[in-house]
Structure 1
């Protein structure tokens, strides 16, 4: 992923706060020799203090053999995207038709070392942490190995602890444009109000204020 200086995350807090509420991504795992990578969509819970992401998958998933062969993976998350028409980006002294269309988006790529979790107690603890992230209000019974209602289901999954070893974060929101052009884009996004436009506009204005 190319990251220009004007698109780089301001600091760790920027991408960590974004990732805390964008917890669905794609796990890219090296495939066997001569084969393309495996790409698995999944929910995950990222813990910035421990520097790891937690998830689980069904035992029949074909990723497991690839992970055992090579545990180096990438967890990729992209969201808050919007298409920006060319005229919105035209410089004030240029005709609108000379503006260059582009895409706005936020993206975080976590390079990780995968650790498989097969111990029933370990899987139960992992699942409880995941549920605690996604369902902090409670309402679901705690998972405990060998106990109802979920203990018998643990054999059907494998846990996955993703130890983060590197981060690439990008916030592509007209960072190299003039204030006048950014203000115009913000106004156009508000007026169009298509899916994703409000979030993209907020990123543009937030980074402009910073």
Structure 2
């Protein structure tokens, strides 16, 4: 197998919009509006990520603006009410931030987003400094790979690897990210594996396996 899997570094946005811990509430809102983002990392020093401020964090001020809570309810919503009364990024942010390494796989980033219910992740190096931002839409970029590239990867990394004796009898066709494998192969036991490996190629939408085994 020759092709290296895509990593977060391959798809992340390198231009990062961030704020300092001392950024004021209105400054944060204006930054989000200007750059059309729903969350911003909070950085300090040489760019070390210390938290993230999201629209959800900011909306707590609106949620509790005109609503007086009783003592028990205040305890229940302690963190939320504290944020609602804050006006600087350092107090508003969610910390520690959920981050991902640039060398992480795309499935790893997707699982982090799903587990923490976030739409984007700061990408940080080993020293904790920010290197980029990866969003849900960035993770979908692999599905924009040209069909010819997908066909070449499936042929080189799947067909050539699994069916060295009958590789010239296997046809690989890709249309809209959907891979069709057809032809005759010597080893019936490897047909199911070929389908699984083709499906694992990043950017492949689906696989139709029409391979058959040659008669003994």
TM-score in same-fold range (> 0.5): no
User: TM (normalized to structure 1)?
Assistant: 0.24
Question: Which structure has greater strand proportion?
Answer: 1
Question: Which structure has greater helix proportion?
Answer: 2
Structure with the greater alpha carbon radius of gyration: 2
Q: Which has the higher contact order (CA 8 A, sep 6+)?
A: 1
